[in-house]
Structure 1
């Protein structure tokens, strides 16, 4: 099954740190080349997450790692606490180094996490997390 990426796109936002595609229950990020992500420089992203999902609409964050960037992984501790409705974190990697980094990064999150080698598989995984919540309502 191939996912229709534009089917449910709500809005695309270009921020200083990257491009973010917002959907009903998930976000896909493409961080810009060379950026260092910190809790502090993600404040505009956090504002957008609040405006789309608040603290009740369940969502999955998918990091589409097309570019090389760095981040402070302890920021995950702080950002996860802002969103009790954040249910999963998927990472799409395109080389073995980024896969190793993503594996280490998983230890900083209490949420469901998974690593993929393509975006389509990540989106199908997202459905396995979101659909049971939708079906139960």
Structure 2
């Protein structure tokens, strides 16, 4: 039997831009409806991620896209540089438009990326990525 990730929620944070659920080796984001995400207004979330994962704890970022929001995908360049320990990025989408956006985002990330329609499948994939590392 292969090793499994600890799926116990460490802590939920309700920030101005959205909800962030931190686990030992992954974080799930749910951005609030209508938000326009910038590198600047994501600073608090990035600070939290640095607190939980530092530069050495491997983790996967899971974007649970329940709501409609906007952001500049080039910000991915900055965030992946800040986190040498990020091992993957998953987008959970619920419609074709968000799938198209997630597919376009793949070109801005230098880590494995996958798109899902169910959150539990994204968590399973995160587990595979972390355990393989």
- Which 4+ residue blocks in structure 1 deviate beyond 3 angstroms? none
Q: 1:89 to 1:7 in 2, by over 3 A?
A: closer
Q: What SS class does the counterpart of residue 56 from structure 1 fall into?
A: coil
CA-atom RMSD in angstroms: 1.1
Partner of 2:87 in structure 1? 87
Residue 7 (structure 1) shift: 4.7
Q: Secondary structure at 2:125's aligned position in 1? A: helix
1:128 paired to 2:128: yes
The question of whether the paired residues in 1 share the 8 Å contact of 2:27 and 2:59 is answered with: yes
- State the 1:132 CA deviation: 2.2
**Paired position in structure 1 for 2:33:** 33
Unaligned runs of 5+ in 1: 1-5
| Distance in 1 of aligned mates of 2:34 and 2:23 | 26
How many residue pairs get aligned? The number is 128
